[in-house]
Amino acid sequence: MSAYKLTVNQLINKVNNKQLSPSEIVESILGRIEKVDGRIRAFITLTGDSARNQAKQAGNQTEAGVLKGIPYALKDNICTNAVRTTCASKMLEDFIPNYDARVAKKLKNAGGILIGKLNMDELAMGTSTELSAFFPTYNPWDLTRVPGGSSGGAAAAVAADEIPFALATDTGGSIRQPASYCGVVGLKPTYGRVSRWGVAALASSLDQVGVLAKNVEDAAIIMNIIAGQDSLDSTSADLPVPDYTSYLGTDIKGMKIGVPRQFFQKNVASEVKAKIDQALKKYEELGAIIEEVSLPHSEHALAAYYTIASAEASTNLARLDGMRYGINDLTAENIEDMYTNNRGLGLGPEVKRRTLFGTFILGSCNYETYYLQALKIRRLIQQDFEQVFQNFDLIISPTTPTTAFKIGSQVHELLDLYSNDMLTVPINMAGLPAISIPCGFIKGLPIGMQIIGKPFAEGSIIQAAYAFEQNTDYHTQKPVLGVK
């Protein structure tokens, strides 16, 4: 089998057994990208030359890390030393960081080989990757549809076998929603589980780095590498990191799974509900106990989320002024004009919209009415989850209300576009870990199931997700791209 088709675990074994060399793997991946990325458009930047050099060096090393010779790619909001990091924004089109984000460094130190940087909605604001300032990414299952977003490039690249795994960020669903649309595994760890140092902030109290992979086992392997406290990220948690692979294959008999009725309301397509029901039956067969639960405040999560996220984004993005990096209009006569012109030129419509809205929210007249109120609702949402988790190990819901939508169909309907996140946003509001795994197909398009865990219980999520995966074959199905 061609190397590009393999999973991370299979590649690790092939390298260890000397059946494949790092150079063979890298060539296979680059060949695949050359063949299919013209249609998928997952990559903003490719680092083929340095990848080839690194592979050559890795081939000569006898000792190396867990990921020796394994290619990976990063969402383009994760800083990479000497490699352009654009956040898919005109503002940062030629920004070249002089340091690696902590997670990028960890993969590098483990022997992984960076293949390139992946497309996204500009500055991670969006749910379709159509809002990239450069070009949209196309869903490998149907090239007329979106891959989801904001990590659409990452999910599409993994689904199309362009890369064995990728790291991305999830602020309101940006890993899980594209994972659902592209039929891959997307894990968002607990807030604080993985360092955010060197990752371009969208909403600092909600952002988290996670993994997109071909299966649950690979997600566990990568979590082992990226999780843990970082002295450079004061919000990273000082808690021991378990071996996530030890949860693979453990029995789920007696596990209590709550199913929140608010996540199955009228906006969720009946075909999607049916797929989740089927999956829950599978869990029952495997010995889990399924019961309906209630998360009453989750219906306000989306409105409260966009209030908080816009407010945080508007302050975070004040740094994009074009002076130290980014677009700079050299004709400005005074410094205020320079700032306003640069931001006007460099930022796209969605970023401007949210900046304006965030500024509105944080205005002295509105701060209490909206921002403080949203933070209180966030407390209520978190308390709802806490209450359920007193009696349950996990919560299961659909990841998205529908399968992937057509390109261009929602781009002018903001509220529709935002509502794609309605089942994922509550989890970020409560800071919880969650995974999306493929649980079926509707008219040839994949759909994901979301498994939500207690804070820092990524292990239980991995355990349950793996059990499902071992008893189904959705994750092994591949889109037909018309090339071999």
Catalytic residue among 14, 68, 75, 214: 75
Q: Is 283 helix (H, G, I), strand (E, B) or coil?
A: helix
Residue with tokens 């299979």: 10
| Contact call for residue 375 and another protein (CB under 8 A) | yes
387 lies in the binding site for another protein (CB under 8 A): no
Residue among 99 and 135 whose Cβ is closer to another protein: 99
Q: How far is the CB of 359 from another protein (least distance, A)?
A: 5
Residue number with CB closer to another protein (271 or 329): 329
Is residue 323 near another protein by the rule CB under 8 A? Answer: yes
- Cα 269 to Cα 130: distance, rounded to the nearest angstrom: 23
Q: Is 174 annotated in the active site? A: yes
DSSP E strands in 217-303: the ranges are: 256-260, 289-293
Nearer to another protein, 260 or 448 (CB): 260
The one catalytic residue in 151, 174, 314, 436 is 174
Binding-residue total with another protein (CB under 8 A)? 71
**Residue 370 near another protein by CB under 8 A:** yes
Residue 369 found at the interface with another protein (CB under 8 A):
yes
The answer to whether residue 318 forms part of the interface with another protein (CB under 8 A) is yes
C-alpha pair distances (Å), 274 with each of 238, 278, 281, 433: 40, 6, 11, 24
When binding is defined by CB under 8 A, the residue of 253, 281, 376, 406 that contacts another protein is: 376
Contact 180, 69 (CB under 8 A): no
DSSP classification of residue 148 = -
**CA 47, CA 314: separation in Å to the nearest integer?**
32
Regarding 344 and contact with another protein (CB under 8 A), the answer is: yes
SS3 43: strand
Residue 355 lies near another protein (rule: CB under 8 A): yes
470 part of the interface to another protein, by CB under 8 A: no
Radius of gyration of the chain (CA): 21
Of the residues 245, 373, 409, 470, which one makes contact with another protein according to CB under 8 A: 373
One residue of 415, 443, 482, 484 binding another protein per CB under 8 A = 415
What is residue 315's three-state secondary structure? helix
Structure-token pair, residue 401: 């209300």
What is the rounded distance in angstroms from the CA atom of residue 152 to the CA atom of residue 182? 9
Q: For the chain, first and last CA: distance in Å?
A: 11
Tell me: does residue 377 bind another protein (CB under 8 A): yes
Rounded Cα–Cα distance for residues 303 and 394 (Å): 25
> Which window, 145-153, 212-220, 355-363, 384-392, contacts another protein (CB under 8 A)?
355-363
277 binds another protein (CB under 8 A): no
With contacts defined by CB under 8 A, name the span among 18-26, 103-111, 251-259, 357-365 that binds another protein.
Answer: 357-365
Distance CA 376, CA 223 (A): 32
Part of the chain binding another protein (CB under 8 A), chosen from 46-54, 121-129, 250-258, 378-386? 378-386
What is the spatial distance between Cα 24 and Cα 26, in angstroms, rounded to a whole number? Answer: 6
DSSP run (H or E) holding 484: none
Distance, CA of 5 to CA of 144 (rounded, Å): 24
- 300 sits near another protein (criterion: CB under 8 A): yes
Of 131 and 237, which CB lies nearer to another protein in the complex structure?
Answer: 237
Task: Tell me the window of 52-60, 126-134, 194-202, 301-309 that interacts with another protein (CB under 8 A).
Answer: 301-309
Residue closer to another protein, measured from CB, 231 or 246: 231
> Does position 31 bind another protein by CB under 8 A?
no
Contact with another protein (CB under 8 A): which of 60, 62, 270, 334? Answer: 334
Rounded to the nearest whole angstrom, what is the least distance from the CB of residue 125 to another protein in the complex?
A: 13
What is the DSSP annotation of 348-377? -HHHHHHHHHHHHHHSTTTIIIIIIHHHHH
Stretch that binds another protein, among 133-141, 213-221, 353-361, 470-478 (CB under 8 A): 353-361
Of 21 and 355, which CB lies nearer to another protein in the complex structure? Answer: 355
* Catalytic hit among 89, 128, 150, 314: 150
3-state secondary structure string, 86-108? CCCCHHHCCCCCCCCCHHHHHHH
Q: Which of 4, 141, 357, 405 binds another protein (CB under 8 A)?
A: 357
Give yes or no: 195 in active site: no
Q: Which residues, in sequence order, are bridge partners of residue 213?
A: 165, 185
Give the residue from 166, 138, 145 showing the smallest Cα distance to 29: 166
> Which residues are part of the catalytic machinery?
75, 150, 174
